[in-house]
Structure 1
Amino acid sequence: MGHLITLATSLNQWALDFQGNYERIIQSIAIAKEHGATLRVGPELEIPGYGCYDHFLEGDTILHSWEVLAKILASDHTMGIVCDIGMPVVHKNVIYNCRVIVHDRQILLIRPKMWLANDGNYREMRYFTPWMKHRQWEDHFLPRIIQTVTKQIKVPFGDCVISTVDTCIGVELCEELFTPASPHISMGLDGVEIFTNSSGSHHELRKLYTRVELIKEATLKLGGVYLYANQQGCDGDRLYYDGCAMIAMNGHIIAQGSQFSLNDVEVVTATIDIEDVRSHRTSRSRGLQAARSEVFHRIEVPFALSSGKFGDTDGTMTLGIQAKLSGARFHTPEEEIALGPACWLWDYLRRSRTQGYFVPLSGGIDSCATAVIVYSMCRLVAEAARKGDKQVIADARRMVGEPEDSVYIPLDPHEFCNKIFHTCYMGTENSSAETRKRAKALSEAIGSYHVDLNMDTLVTSVRDLFAFVTGMRPQFRAHGGSGAENLALQNIQARLRMLLAYLFAQLLPWVRGRQGALLVLGSANVDESLRGYLTKYDCSSADINPIGGISKTDLKKFIAYARDAFEIPILNDFLSAIPTAELEPISETYVQADEADMGMTYDELSVFGRFRKVEKCGPYGMFTKLVHEWGSFLSPVQIAEKVKHFFFEYARNRHKMTTLTPSYHAESYSPDDNRFDLRPFLYPSRFPWQFKKIDEVAAVLPDRSNPAVDKTKTD
């Protein structure tokens, strides 16, 4: 019986950071070898970074990727270990997303991706072409910089497998695991025992379970070892890649890395017995299918992954068995919100080389959630610092203005939060004492540097200017003004807050005797963006937004979680407060409320969003689905009015999505116009054809919401 030491790695790569990416790859290989591993797998396109987008079309990106690979091959790092490394490769003038399998300064195989991710957040077919010659290979003539190192003129390029002295390795790339006819099935039937999967899979709330189940299923009925490596961190865009490198065997997860981490390099190892795979594959039906399977070309390498000595392990076998017994680890959605956007914010802050964040605190739950996520980031930084993470400590010192050789270590999240996080309450005569008090109490609880101001003189100056120019002075509706006047006066306040936010973000470090500037954080949630319930270029316009892809419903659950997990009792007051923009005068008979203004609840917006995007429903399709879901408590006519109202407001506000602040992607129904939700922004907002059909059908459908209606008379 031979024991194999295998591993998967998660790297926090950065698009176009060739030097940094090279260093992290080398570090991961070194750690793998320290653990006695003989097979190392990295994430997808790890040399240039996954999120290069149109830079993949540039010759420079291809050239620098080869240069990095040449540097890796020229070193001793690939000696005694098989490494699976990702980069783009041009073959016969066609760009492919490839894995380059190397060993002992030699390239064994270049394996191009066959099924590309090309929906949702992914546009791989914009840059790459899928390899369509399944089970076929060709000669690829190497560039001279590689020939000089490897002394090879050409190497196999195509759909092949690697045959070592003791086993057989097959390559699968990210999307290929998710396709109905995954390559691991045919490879496994042809005798491949170890599968590698290099991925660039992003975080989305509640998504990890699907990925884990697919990986387990890949080896449950087939048998085999599955090594899954995923990018981890923000590589320069809206996505956070959530790592969670895994090793599975025969349908069980035996090793699992972190899903959210501030580590730049994380290596996951496990020791397995390849005989367990062979015993798992003894069923007759599997044997019959394997006997008639098509053959893959095998690239032979005179190297054994196992030592050949029974019991020769580094102790990780026991860890693997424990993981198998306990099963895969999953975070709750509330924990995902606390960790994912926090890690994303940290990467963005350190890589932009700015000095901190600024948030206008309104006293409402959205800006509260944004602030608590920043505090969660500070908690993660303090935890990493206590563990001695040199990179985190160095980044933290630079942010707070300490020299590299300083003794400063960010051990206290409150103290670190005070240095890098700035908040401000921007009140007007329409603001309440309660929201002002909540904002201040929250800032004290998390430690942010807080300022409080009234901007009435600024708002009055703008109104006076307009009156001077036009001779007309707009009034709020409560004072007899029209709807246009009322809306304009609300928008003045909202847009002036954006100006003040950027002013304070630019100058608060100066006020505190420091250099640099702050990044402004937005705090519009996914539901408000979908409905368009925000002012264009108001304080929702910012540099980045950690909650822009999270629903109001999930944000409330997160705040309830953070209240207990972070020990912040003041969050109770935010949970019980009625959401309000506080842009209109408060009177004894009127207090502005978000859901009343929108004409729909946040829970309803979540349903509308899911049907519109995930279920791909137009107005009529949404109506027919909701008749079944809501028909027990709403009449068809009521449902029709709700659907029509949503689509009208969504359509007339869609233009706001073209300027939406770049947001952390966390929700499958995100309306982000720039990457994820490709739809027009000028609509026939009254949808005359669609709405007419809805009304015609609603008029004849039975009303199931009224128990008194005779439901037998429905035809």
Structure 2
Amino acid sequence: MRLVKLATCNLNQWAMDFTGNLARICSSIEKARQAGAVYRIGPELEICGYGCEDHFLELDTCTHSWECLGEILKSGLTDGIVCDIGLPVQQGGVRYNCRAFCLNGRILLIRPKLFLANDGNYRELRWFAAWKHSHELVEFQLPEVISAIRGQKTVSFGDGYVQFLDTSVASETCEELFTPNSPHSSLALNGVEIIGNGSGSHHQLRKLNTRLELMQHATSKAGGVYMYANQQGCDGGRLYYDGCACIVVNGDVVAQGSQFSLQDVEVVTAIVDLDTVVSYRGAGSSLREQASQVSQIPFVKVDFTLSEPCNLLTSFPTLPIEVRYHIPQEEIALGPACWLWDYLRRSGATGYFLPLSGGADSSSVAAIVGSMCQLVIKAIQEGNEQVLSDALRIGQYKGNEKPESAEAFAGRLLHTTYMGSENSSDETRKRAEQLAKEIGASHLNIKIDIVVSALLTLFSSVTGRMPRYKVDGGSHTENLALQNIQARIRMVLAFMFASLLPWIRKKPGFLLVLGSANVDEGLRGYLTKYDCSSADVNPIGGISKQDLRTFLKWGGANLGYPSLLLVEAAPPTAELEPIRENYTQLDEIDMGMTYEELSMYGRLRKVFQCGPVSMFKHLCHRWQGKYSPREVAVKVKDFFRYYSMNRHKMTTLTPSYHAENYSPEDNRFDLRQFLYNTRWPWQFRKIDDLVQMNDDASDGPVDSAALQEAVNRQKPTDAEAAATTAAGFGVPAAAAGNPKTGKGV
């Protein structure tokens, strides 16, 4: 038996925090050494942080990364242990995303990334080039900061691996695991037994299954050991990196780290018998045949042994384990909560302010903050000194005081306010109060009518006119304007209270305002520009309404907040229009589509890259028997009209936690124009042609009323057309597509 102890890790790195990142890297190496590991791998670009973005264009970023690597090499931490470390490297005037294999104060090999992530949330080709010289090593001149340590002037650079006396080690980097022709295939056929993957992979609902299945498939197909390291936490942007470092052997997971944790450094180890890799590979005839004719990958020879003599009484390989997966509701409770904790402790703020309406969205945000407080208390009880230190500072504890319960901690850092108006109901106010009490938040009830009235009085004094709601005989334009006033007043009040509440309570600092618009409402534009959708951060901006409703049910039973069940049972409503005996404002009626339909439109638009015609064709099949092609046509055209009319709102969305792959977030993820021809004349005409062809083929009677309705829907109202024109020139459009207003009443 050739037993080797291996270590991988989750690190909570922060972009451009070289001091903190270096400390966490050193801590992980020390923990791996103490555990007896002989090979340690860390996350992608761990020295500078993965999310540096355009800071990668600065030479300083590469320079500081080399300086940090130099500190590691001269510290003695790499003596007797191979360390696989991620950093950016300039070679031949080209910047590469690299892995540096280090041992005994020297660099053994620098391996650049072969395939870059350049879609969705990733723009690596903006900052790096891929190494295009397949199976080729070149000589790289090391910078003075490295060569001055032990006199090493050069190192091999390129597509290769490290051959030790008893085994071989190579690396992939993040995206390369997901590519169709992954490097691990040819590496395995070249006899490489251990492959490490330093990754910067973000959390997305239901994504972990895909990641782990790819690793299991890679090693079950060709044998071998696969080690996965990942960043964990918020490194300064919208993404949360969800850790889950793991080690896989011949298709079996033998070690798995946490997916959601407040730990800054987590090291995962396993003892692996490399002889099982040889046996596994030797049993496959096709593998032997392919390996005998594969092109050879160059390697660097190193006079060092990773394995140790086997003592059958004291040394045992780590046995396979059952993979742990969180259900989506748990992911919503844990992922955004960890992200919010990192954001809070690194921003210098002393807490969060949330306009709490008693509705599903703001209640979900409140529950997520409550979950964050529960995680903090749990980590403190488990002895996490870093979390305790941050909690004492943020909560402004004095003397020997320290957080004792999640509710008491929430009372110090979560401030909620119900901003009611004459249109608000007692039911929503009571739900908001009850939930705030269950969480432990510091809660206020205020009425905004006096402020709204002052603005309307000002408007009337200038114009001589007073707008009315539609239920009182007002026009569509008046009705929207009256809703938007309430919504935007709440935004102003939210930031005022966030600034001044600490002062009122004689505490220093400031509060961060939390937004609560979900991904579907962003897609539809069912929110008012610069209302309570405008905040500092939004933990649910990438989560669908359907997932939030299932989370509320789960949270009511598992987080200790039973009022969430009442929230989930209530029909979604903005409560911005007067309630009458024969009229109640409801979200899905206002939008003209259900949340279930919105999720479908969103996935087809973004994930399946469907335009109007392709979406129409797809939904005709999916909804066959439920809606006729003519009805599907109306729905598809309605969606694209409202989507394009309100697209301008996506340019001002509050930075949101990314959790859904059909997010319409304009700034980083979904790059599309915001000035559209909302009539889509060519595309909608093609849809009408397909509907007519279907009618002609079926020889059925033409539904003239439905046809006229479809034609009428293609023509925006004067108010909608004006709103679209105004939006295109950067003017906030009060009448843009009957937007929902006042998220966070």
TM over 0.5: yes
**Structure 1 equivalent of residue 462 of structure 2:** 469
1:293 counterpart letter in structure 2 = V
CA contact (8 A) 1:246 1:253 kept: yes
Query: How big is the shift at 1:314?
Result: 6.4
Say whether residues 1:12 and 2:12 are aligned partners.
yes
Residue 331 of structure 2 aligns to a residue whose secondary structure is helix
CA contact (8 A) 1:253 1:327 kept: yes
Say whether residues 1:363 and 2:364 are aligned partners.
no
**Structure 2 equivalent of residue 36 of structure 1:** 36
Say whether residues 1:655 and 2:648 are aligned partners.
yes
Say whether residues 1:96 and 2:96 are aligned partners.
yes
Unaligned runs of 5+ in 1: 710-715
**Structure 1 equivalent of residue 288 of structure 2:** 287
CA contact (8 A) 1:440 1:450 kept: yes
CA contact (8 A) 2:695 2:701 kept: no
Aligned counterpart for 1:434 among listed residues 427, 440, 443: 427
Residue 222 of structure 2 aligns to a residue whose secondary structure is coil
Moved over 6 A (4+): 703-709
CA contact (8 A) 2:438 2:560 kept: no
> Residues 422-444 of structure 1, C-alpha deviation per residue, up to 9 Å, x if partnerless?
00000110111111111111111
Query: How big is the shift at 1:708?
Result: 13
Query: How big is the shift at 1:475?
Result: 1.3
**Structure 1 equivalent of residue 174 of structure 2:** 174
**Structure 1 equivalent of residue 241 of structure 2:** 241
Query: How big is the shift at 1:699?
Result: 2.5
CA contact (8 A) 1:385 1:411 kept: no
Aligned counterpart for 1:588 among listed residues 581, 586, 608: 581
Residue 119 of structure 1 aligns to a residue whose secondary structure is coil
Residues 636/350 of structure 1: CA separation in 2 closer, same or farther (3 Å cut): same
Q: Distance in 2 between matches of 1:527 and 1:706?
A: 38
Write the mapping of 1:397-412 to structure 2, written as runs, cut at 5 A: 397-402=392-397, 406-412=399-405
Residue 157 of structure 1 aligns to a residue whose secondary structure is strand
Say whether residues 1:343 and 2:338 are aligned partners.
yes
Say whether residues 1:300 and 2:301 are aligned partners.
yes
> Residues 511-546 of structure 1, C-alpha deviation per residue, up to 9 Å, x if partnerless?
222110100000000000000000000001100000
1:390 counterpart letter in structure 2 = E
**Structure 1 equivalent of residue 729 of structure 2:** none
Residue 610 of structure 1 aligns to a residue whose secondary structure is helix
Q: Distance in 1 between matches of 2:580 and 2:150?
A: 79
Q: Distance in 2 between matches of 1:507 and 1:484?
A: 35
Residues 145/6 of structure 1: CA separation in 2 closer, same or farther (3 Å cut): same
Greater Cα offset, 229-238 or 294-303: 294-303
Q: Count the aligned residue pairs.
A: 701
2:338 counterpart letter in structure 1 = C
**Structure 1 equivalent of residue 625 of structure 2:** 632
Identity %: 56
CA contact (8 A) 2:203 2:659 kept: yes
> Residues 61-111 of structure 1, C-alpha deviation per residue, up to 9 Å, x if partnerless?
011001100000010100000000000000011000000110000000010
Query: How big is the shift at 1:379?
Result: 0.4
**Structure 2 equivalent of residue 641 of structure 1:** 634
Query: How big is the shift at 1:312?
Result: 7.8
Q: Distance in 2 between matches of 1:128 and 1:295?
A: 26
**Structure 1 equivalent of residue 734 of structure 2:** none
CA contact (8 A) 1:239 1:665 kept: yes
Residue 646 of structure 2 aligns to a residue whose secondary structure is helix
Query: How big is the shift at 1:408?
Result: 2.8
Write the mapping of 1:255-654 to structure 2, written as runs, cut at 5 A: 255-282=255-282, 283-311=284-312, 317=317, 320-321=318-319, 324=320, 326-402=321-397, 406-654=399-647
Q: Distance in 2 between matches of 1:312 and 1:611?
A: 58
Query: How big is the shift at 1:327?
Result: 2.4
Query: How big is the shift at 1:704?
Result: 13
**Structure 2 equivalent of residue 712 of structure 1:** none
Q: Distance in 2 between matches of 1:361 and 1:204?
A: 26
Q: Distance in 2 between matches of 1:408 and 1:183?
A: 54
Q: Distance in 1 between matches of 2:38 and 2:699?
A: 69
Query: How big is the shift at 1:385?
Result: 0.6
Aligned Cα root-mean-square deviation (Å): 1.6
Q: Distance in 1 between matches of 2:400 and 2:381?
A: 13
Q: Distance in 2 between matches of 1:313 and 1:678?
A: 57
Q: Distance in 1 between matches of 2:86 and 2:265?
A: 16
Q: Distance in 2 between matches of 1:516 and 1:92?
A: 48
1:287 counterpart letter in structure 2 = R
Residues 401/110 of structure 1: CA separation in 2 closer, same or farther (3 Å cut): same
**Structure 2 equivalent of residue 137 of structure 1:** 137
Residues 706/535 of structure 1: CA separation in 2 closer, same or farther (3 Å cut): farther
Query: How big is the shift at 1:346?
Result: 0.3
Residue 701 of structure 1 aligns to a residue whose secondary structure is helix
**Structure 2 equivalent of residue 713 of structure 1:** none
CA contact (8 A) 1:135 1:160 kept: yes
Q: Distance in 2 between matches of 1:702 and 1:625?
A: 18
Residue 650 of structure 1 aligns to a residue whose secondary structure is helix
Residue 281 of structure 1 aligns to a residue whose secondary structure is helix
**Structure 2 equivalent of residue 216 of structure 1:** 216
TM-score (norm 1): 0.96
Query: How big is the shift at 1:9?
Result: 0.8
> Residues 44-73 of structure 1, C-alpha deviation per residue, up to 9 Å, x if partnerless?
000000000000000110110011000000
Say whether residues 1:669 and 2:669 are aligned partners.
no
Q: Distance in 1 between matches of 2:587 and 2:698?
A: 27
2:76 counterpart letter in structure 1 = D
Say whether residues 1:193 and 2:193 are aligned partners.
yes
Residues 147/313 of structure 1: CA separation in 2 closer, same or farther (3 Å cut): farther
Residue 165 of structure 1 aligns to a residue whose secondary structure is coil
> Residues 451-480 of structure 1, C-alpha deviation per residue, up to 9 Å, x if partnerless?
000010100000000111111111111222
Residues 703/261 of structure 1: CA separation in 2 closer, same or farther (3 Å cut): farther
Write the mapping of 1:78-97 to structure 2, written as runs, cut at 5 A: 78-97=78-97
Q: Distance in 2 between matches of 1:704 and 1:378?
A: 62
TM-score (norm 2): 0.93
Query: How big is the shift at 1:409?
Result: 2.8
Residues 391/354 of structure 1: CA separation in 2 closer, same or farther (3 Å cut): same
Residue 155 of structure 1 aligns to a residue whose secondary structure is strand
1:381 counterpart letter in structure 2 = V
**Structure 2 equivalent of residue 124 of structure 1:** 124
Residue 503 of structure 1 aligns to a residue whose secondary structure is helix
**Structure 2 equivalent of residue 227 of structure 1:** 227
**Structure 2 equivalent of residue 679 of structure 1:** 672
Unaligned runs of 5+ in 2: 703-745
